[in-house]
Structure formats: structure tokens, C-alpha cells
Amino acid sequence: MKQFRKRGIWLTIVIIIFTMIVPEYVMAEDAVSFVVSDGSGVFYIVHQSEYAVTVSRAERGGVTAIRTEAFQAKDVLYAAGRLLLILDADEMLLVTDALDLDYLFFIPETDVISYCAAADRYGNVYLVTDDAPDVVKVYNTAGLQAEYHPAEIVNALYADEQADTVYAVVRNGITAVNGSKNLSCETPLFPVKRNGRYCTDSSGRVFLLDSENGFVKLSDSGYSEVCTIDGIVYVSDGEEVIQLDGRRVVSRFSAGRPVTGLYASGSQLAVFCGETVKVIGESDFTAVKEQSADDISHAEVQASRREEETSACQSVGYTEESSGEKPDDIPTSVPQSSSGVQESPESDRFTAEISSGRIPARVSDGASQNSASCQIKSSTYAVKNDMICGIPPGTTIPQFRNNMEYEDYQVHFRNHNGKSVSSGTVGTGWKAVFSGEDTLEFYLVVDHDVTGEGNSNRNDIYALSNYLLGKSGLNVYELTAADSDGNGMVNACDFAGLVQYVFG
């Protein structure tokens, strides 16, 4: 009996230790292109290869492949139990439900370079294409059902938590696609990561979608890899995931290797580390002594840049009260600049003074990498530290590859959400990851592409206008793209240059 009791005690200890270890699931070798959540702790992961796309379901208990299609995935949407894959079927788009094989229809859109999409709970897909950016088309199994005209360029589409209402995100707020509601508000930088009513953007800002007020900004973490659970902010810092309360670090989770992606679903987090994913919850975190996020080395380098750019832009002053009425349509001029330029003693970035308010222009050469980065060269683009600049708008991935020299390295690309991309045009803020004996990462900067869409259009004019008006911030890569004359400053001259470039 004593022997059995001892064995039982040891078995209990082993079980307790085993359950304390967070399982790590190895993903397929194909690159992860999309990650969406159902809001209940389940993540759907889309792997893209040259010939097919595979959808996997990841949760606390493991990862299971659930669907494979012999097409390239353009997008994936989750709404009210439907997991809709938008596939590139040559001269049209194929929409299919990865969870319901019988749900299938075609969208006859041809020659579409880019678009934004959303879905509602009734199986309708809402689409805005680059050739008609102010028209929302609604499709389902019966074909084209309706067209809506929000009277403004649509930057993104966003469904509410119940997927009852789809909103068009426009310049100064959101409008219900059916025209029943128009709300003025600050909007996230799309694409976003969402979890229920909350979403986070690539600038580290956390928003709540409120049916009465539109998007409400809750916080600004200053991190690019951020997600939220019920308004609680989680960020990645090297090999750790950190829970924040404002700027205070509450708890940590060590992933054991660099975190490459972070997503939330319900009360669970999916932590991506290269080819592996771990699904964790609050119990996996370890509480820490009171500590400010400013004490974290990564935050000192990354978050401080974002905070300086945003806070200075918002605090100095070109407000509606001081500058008069805001432009009704596309702005084509900005206040005349007359002040000088001073160099910051702490860095190689510059600050430009504009008479109607101080507009900080943070343009730097980026963070330095080790000497191996000299093996990454180009006679077409400018390779400096962690950036590759001077990329013309509309440059495709094959064109970029052809204009780079990277012997003994393989290169793949990640967009603003950290999703692997293998086709299309590159955009400002994307990462080119060169893998060989070591791994080198470069942020891409496309000339005049402030929004990261890969081209230069009216959206870039809006973004730069909002920056100069003190309504929003730009990170160092976006500022570099906006620096039309390449003098290390972003001011009225660059705005005029962008307008001239877009409209000719």
C-alpha cells in the first residue's frame, strides 16, 4: 500500500509539472499568411504555399488541419460561425466557408490589385476594390445583392461584434454601409487585430467599437505587436509576452524564443515563434514586481520613437481652433512654413518648425544591424541599417527580389500584421526577412506610400495631412516614405510634392 501511495504521490507531482508546461505546437513549413479568431479561444491559421492553402484550427488542446484548397488565399473572414476564405481563382474571386463545404460562390472581380472586405452574420461579403474605392458591393450565393455609396473613399470595412452591422471606415469616422448611422471618431490604422469589441492596430493603439460613439481609443502602448483581452493590453518584447496596466508591467510569459506574432481570442493568446505556436492564458503568466514599461530595453528603443512622434504631434498645435476650418475634401495645401530646423542632440533625427505649430519630423537611418547586413545589397534601392528605401510605388515582390543582391540568403516577406506574403506589391512598413547562417530583417520604405498600401494615392495625402494637422502620428518608416525631397524633414514641401506626385 505504501509503495502504491508513493507511486501515486510521484504520479501526481509529474502530472502537476506537466500541466504547468505550456504545450508548443509545430506548424506546417508553409508560411502563415492569416490568423483570425472566433472570440472564444479558437484561432484559425491560414498557411500559404506556392500551390495550395491550408487552414488549421489552433486552441489550448492542439492544432488540427481542417481544410486545403488548391488556390492562393486573398483574405479570410470570420463572422457568426462562418470562416470565409476568399481565394484567387484566376479571373474571379472564390468565396468558400472552411467549416461548411456547401457554402460557395464566386465574385466576378477582375484585375483587382487590392481591396478591403468584411462579412456579416447572414453570409454576405462586403467588398471595396481599388478601382472603385467609394463603392461598397455586397455579394452572397445569389450574386451581387447591393451597392452602397458612402460618398467618401473607404479605407476599411469593419463588422460589429455580432456581425449585424458592417461599417465603412472613412476619413473622419465610420458610417454604416446601409447609411443608417454616421459617427465622427478617431479610427485605427488598418489592418487591425480584433477580439470581440476590441481591436489593436500596428501603431500599438487599443480601440473599442461603441455603437453610439464609433471607435473609442483606450490606450497607446507604443508597441507594434500588441493585442487585448477585455481591454487588458498584452505586448511582445523579444522572447517575452508582457501584460501592461497603462505603462506598468503586471506580469510576464517567457516564450523561450523570439515572438514573431501575437493574437487574442476570448481569454486566450496565440504566441507565434517562427514555425511554432503556443496558446496561453492568464494562468501561464508570472506576476512581477512593480515595473514601468519604460524600464524594458525594447520599449526604450521602439516605444519611445512612437510616443515621441505621436505626443509631440498632438501637443504642438495645429488644431482646428488655431488653424481655422479643416478641409472638406482632399487637402491640396498646408500652412506656409517659415521657421528653422534644429538637430536633436540625442539622435540623428531632425525636428522641423512650422509657423502655425511645431511639426516634428522624425526621419532616421533606423537601427543598426551586425556586419552581416553588408551582404544584403542593391544597386536600385538604398540599404541602410534596418531599412531598404527608395522603392518605387507599385513594386511587386518579384521585382523587389530581382533588384536585390542576397547571395546565400533566402528572403520572405511579412506585412504590417506579421503575416507572410508571397505575391502582390510591397508596402511601407513591410519586413523583408533574409534567412541564411543568420537572420536579417529590413523594413521596406516605398516612396510616397505613407499608408503602406504599396502605391501612392489619396489615402496617403489624407494620412500626411492628418500628421501635419497634429491629428495623428507617423512612425519612422512612414515619415521616411513621406520625405519627398529626402532632406531628413517632413514638412509643407513634402506635402506639396506628394500632391504633385498623386495628381500630376
How many domains does the structure of the chain reveal? 1
Local structure of 312: helix, strand or coil: helix
Is residue 169 pLDDT above 60, yes or no?
yes
Q: Give the Cα separation of 331 and 171 in Å (integer).
A: 12
Q: Where are the alpha helices (DSSP H) in 286-419?
A: 297-298, 304-315, 320-323, 397-402
285 pLDDT band, cuts 50/70/90, is very high
Confidence bin at 107 (pLDDT 50/70/90):
confident
More confident residue, 267 or 425: 267
Whether a cis peptide bond, with omega within 30° of 0, leads into 191 is yes
Higher pLDDT, 322 or 462: 462
Which residue carries 516577406 as its cell?
Answer: 413
Say if 182 falls within a structural domain.
Answer: no
Q: What is the pLDDT of residue 234?
A: 93
CA contacts within 13 A on the Cβ side of 287:
2
In this structure, of 144-158, 373-387, 400-414, the range with the lowest mean pLDDT score is 373-387
pLDDT the model gives residue 9:
41
Phi, psi of 450 (to 5 degrees): -75, -35
Q: Per mean pLDDT, which of 206-215, 287-296, 303-312, 352-361 is the most reliable?
A: 206-215
In this prediction, residue 25 has a pLDDT band, given cuts at 50, 70 and 90, of: low
The pairs formed by 242-245 with CB atoms below 8 angstroms and a separation of 24 or more are 242/293, 242/296, 243/285, 244/293
Which amino acid type is present at position 61? G
Domain extent for 485? 297-504
Give, as one character, the DSSP assignment of residue 27. Answer: P
User: How do residues 203-238 score in pLDDT, each as one tens digit?
Assistant: 778 899 988 899 999 888 777 688 999 888 999 877
pLDDT at res. 435:
84
* β-sheet bridge partners, residue 73: 87
Determine the Cα–Cα distance for residues 214 and 173; give it in Å rounded to an integer: 7
pLDDT, position 219: 84
Top-confidence residue, 166 or 504: 166
| Predicted confidence (pLDDT) at residue 438 exceeds the cutoff of 70 | yes
* DSSP one-letter code for 283: G
10 Å CB burial of residue 493 (0-12, 13-18, 19+) is: middle
Classify residue 368: in a domain, yes or no. yes
Mean pLDDT of 280-289: 90
pLDDT at 327 over 50: no
- Of the pLDDT bands very low, low, confident and very high (cuts 50, 70, 90), residue 391 is very high
Asked, for residue 389, whether it belongs to a domain, the answer is: yes
* pLDDT at 268 (0 to 100): 94
Cβ neighbours for 421, distance < 8 A, ≥ 6 positions apart? 33, 397, 413, 414, 415, 430
Secondary structure letter of residue 39 according to DSSP: S
Q: Is 7 inside a domain boundary?
A: no
pLDDT at 127 over 60: yes
Which residues are 104's β-sheet partners? Answer: 96
C-alpha cell of residue 291: 515595473
Is the per-residue pLDDT at 33 higher than 60?
Answer: yes
Answer yes or no: is 498 within a domain.
yes
Query: What does the mean pLDDT of the chain come to?
Result: 76
Name the band, by pLDDT with cuts 50, 70 and 90, for residue 305: very low
**The pLDDT of residue 136:** 92
The answer, yes or no, to whether residue 477 has pLDDT greater than 60, is: yes
Looking up cell 502655425, which residue turns up? Answer: 356
Query: Is 0.75 topped by the overall pTM?
Result: no
d(CA 165, CA 178): 8
Question: Which has the closest alpha carbon to 433: 238, 192, 260, 254?
Answer: 260
Rounded Cα gap, residues 449 and 393, in angstroms? 7
**Mean pLDDT along residues 291-309:** 44
At 243-283, the pLDDT tens digits run 988 778 899 999 988 888 899 999 999 998 877 889 999 99
The x, y and z cell numbers of residue 31, run together, are: 508560411
Residue 484 inside a domain? The answer is: yes
Each residue of 80-89: pLDDT tens digit? 888 998 888 7
Residues 6+ apart with CB under 8 A from 374: none
Question: What does 421-486 look like in DSSP terms, one character per residue?
Answer: E-SSB--TT-EEEEESSSEEEEEEEETT-SSSSSS-SHHHHHHHHHHHTTSS---HHHHHHH-TT-
Amino acid symbol at 188: P
**Statement: residue 15 has pLDDT above 70:** no
Q: Are the CB atoms for 169 and 186 separated by under 8 Å?
A: no
Percent of the chain with pLDDT over 70: 74
205-210 and 198-200: which strand pairing?
Answer: antiparallel
Q: Is residue 236 part of a domain?
A: no
Q: What is the pLDDT of residues 45-83, one digit of tens each?
A: 988 777 788 899 999 888 888 888 888 888 889 988 889
Residues 173 and 179: beta-carbon distance below 8 Å: no
In a domain, 174, yes or no: no
Mean pLDDT lowest for which of 81-85, 342-346, 401-405, 488-492? 342-346
pLDDT average, residue stretch 493-498: 88
pLDDT recorded at residue 178: 74
User: Which three cell numbers, joined as nine digits, stand for 462?
Assistant: 489624407
